[in-house]
Structure 1
Amino acid sequence: MRAIRGLWRWRGNPLCRTTDLAEAWLALTSLLLIVCVAPLIGVLVGGAAQSALQRSVREQHEMRHRVTATVVRALERSRLTVDPEGASGDELSSRVLAAWTGPDGSRHEGPVLVGIDRPDSGDRFAMWTDVRGREVARPLDSATASTHAVLAGVGTAVAAAALVEAARRIVVWRMVRRRYARLEREWERAGPDWGRTGAGS
């Protein structure tokens, strides 16, 4: 709004300099880019991220399988060992030796992290494996993918707006420097004659 008011105020004003008008037009253009173009870029990037992430979700759910494993015995327990796919980083995970059957029918046994507080031999829990029965991370879910896509879109829109504002400030800074340099040159040209009789100043 300030840019529009500035343009209207300078309209037909004899004191209006070319740089004043250029500054007002620059501010108006920057405002339009920030309000209209930056959100559009954010929507496009967010949409592209959503498509890519949802495709990844589908691929992961096709390639990863949920199986039921059985605790063979508990292994050492550490508060520093946290399941990165867990709902909360504060959850205590237990390390156990487990046995499971892969989707292809193969038998597997190995150390895994479980969210059981005091695991005993024979306890059953769910885990994720690939088609050959090897342990893999939990597949990305659709809601998390959508959240990442929204964050990508918002971040891109904010970055685009910040880039436009930074460019506007740089251009205005250069215009002001050029204006002051011109003023100094004019001052040097007129300064020595100031106060002298008949100098026309």
Structure 2
Amino acid sequence: MRAVRGLRRWRHNPLRRTTDLVEAWVALAALLLLVLGAPAAGWIVGSLAQDVLQESAREQRSSRHQVTATVVRRLERSPTDADPENAGQDLRTRVLADWTAPDGTARHGVVLSVLGSPDRGDRFPVWTDATGRTAARPMDPGTATAHAVLAGLGAALLAAGIVEAARRLVVRHMVRRRYARWDQAWERAGPDWGRTGTGS
């Protein structure tokens, strides 16, 4: 709103400099870009991210399978056993387990168990690929949407920051040129400016 008032104020003012009018137009353009351009950039990036992430989630759900594993024995806990999807919860337990791959082959290996204190023979779900190798849990649609929203917000904030930075650079350049002109005018006026009889 200040930009619109600034344009109106400088429109018929006899003290108006060209740089004042340009500065007001730059402020108005920046305001329009902030109000319209930044949300549009956020919407576009968020929509594109949503499409890509939802497609990735569908591919993961179709290529990963949940099978049941049986605990052979419990292994020592490691700090790297935390599940990134469940940050802040207790560490998961490493176990040696047996499971059957989706193609019917028997598998054996170290996996992370969701069981608090697993004992031999306990059963728990594990995600695998089509060949039976363990895989991360597939991304669910809600997580994909949350990531897309964050990408859209980040793009909108980035666009707003770029617009504001560009406006400030333009205004700073104009102010420096204005001060340089003032310095030149003062030099032309000389040290006798304002004294009686000097013609100033």
Instruction: Give the TM-score range, shorter chain.
Output: over 0.9
Q: Is the aligned partner of 1:122 residue 2:117?
A: no
State percent identity of aligned pairs: 62
| CA distance in 2 between partners of 1:41 and 1:129 (Å) | 38
Aligned 8 A contact 1:67 1:127 in 2: yes
CA change 1:4–1:86 in 2 (3 A) is closer
Number of aligned residue pairs: give it.
200
Q: Is the aligned partner of 1:8 residue 2:24?
A: no
Q: CA deviation at 1:92?
A: 2.6
Partner in structure 1 of residue 65 of structure 2? 65
| CA distance in 2 between partners of 1:96 and 1:20 (Å) | 72
CA change 1:166–1:54 in 2 (3 A) is same
Query: What TM-score results when the alignment is normalised by the length of structure 1?
Result: 0.95
Q: CA deviation at 1:91?
A: 1.2
Equivalent residue runs for 1:1-201 within 5 Å: 1-78=1-78, 80-195=79-194, 198-201=197-200
Q: CA deviation at 1:85?
A: 4.3
* CA-atom RMSD in angstroms: 1.3
CA change 1:179–1:122 in 2 (3 A) is same
Aligned 8 A contact 1:82 1:91 in 2: no
CA change 1:53–1:183 in 2 (3 A) is same
Aligned 8 A contact 1:7 1:21 in 2: yes
- Structure 1 residues not aligned, in runs of 5+: none
Aligned 8 A contact 1:49 1:152 in 2: yes
Letter in 2 for 1:92: L
Give the 3-state SS of the residue equivalent to 2:88 in structure 1: coil
CA change 1:164–1:120 in 2 (3 A) is same
CA change 1:153–1:195 in 2 (3 A) is closer
CA change 1:195–1:147 in 2 (3 A) is closer
Q: CA deviation at 1:95?
A: 1.1
Q: CA deviation at 1:9?
A: 1.0
- Higher alpha-carbon deviation: 185-194 or 169-178: 185-194
Give the 3-state SS of the residue equivalent to 1:192 in structure 2: coil
- Structure 2 residues not aligned, in runs of 5+: none
Aligned 8 A contact 2:83 2:92 in 1: no
| CA distance in 1 between partners of 2:134 and 2:179 (Å) | 68
Give the 3-state SS of the residue equivalent to 2:168 in structure 1: helix
For residues 27-82 of structure 1, the C-alpha deviation after alignment (integer angstroms, 9 at most, x for no partner) is 0000000010110011000000000000000111111001011111111234x243
Aligned 8 A contact 1:81 1:93 in 2: no
